[in-house]
Amino acid sequence: MGGAQLELPSGARPGVCVRRSFRAHAGDQPRRPPGPIPVPGTMKQESAAPNSPPPSQSPTPSAQFPRKDGDPQALWIFGYGSLVWRPDFAYSDSRVGFVRGYSRRFWQGDTFHRGSDKMPGRVVTLLEDHDGCTWGVAYQVQGEQVSKALKYLNVREAVLGGYDTKEVTFYPQDAPDQPLKALAYVATPQNPGYLGPAPEEAIATQILACRGFSGHNLEYLLRLADFMQLCGPQAQDEHLAAIVDAVGTMLPCFCPTEQALALV
């Protein structure tokens, strides 16, 4: 096949060779959000964040959440899936970091963004896990940005995605001793789109076969994997890595020619 190969950073698992030409056909192109985008400098690779939870005497996380009389004046929103590369709402600040007590899993079905009613795609949710750690991006919205962001995300994540909101404690990569309260969108087993666990190979097969209004399901997987590489070696996600490995093994058979790729 023609086309340049996707070069994996050093330390990446062997066997994953996904061609850039597939990215061009796999879904939407990168779009600049209306607000400032995450600055690569915040994704520091030279200073690893601790792998153990911060000590119990850490400062109380600070954030403002919706009051009874309306929206807050400021709010942090934690993204761990497509929000890490495409928030699509205006925000004042963004920080790369992680939440403790949760693991990321491709257990939520998607019949709109990355799949259809007949062929649901697989997207991520958070699973409560005492030893878990999930990396992502927290966005701060202020003033008029708050209501606009919440209104947009209610449609994107709740109405179309099946997600509920949950308060989490976010630890910025550059200041893990200064945690923040943040709002996260989590798909629980109670929502009708929940697919639950499956072997990574089965998840990879489903991802390769599905696409929705936001693009191909494979694009979703690859962009998330790219983000984790930027976070540095301290950011581990074995579930994600196993699915990427499985895709790398299956892709040559699934899409053997450039002509087949163009049809996806």
Residues carrying an active site annotation: 157
Query: Residue holding tokens 């989590």?
Result: 186
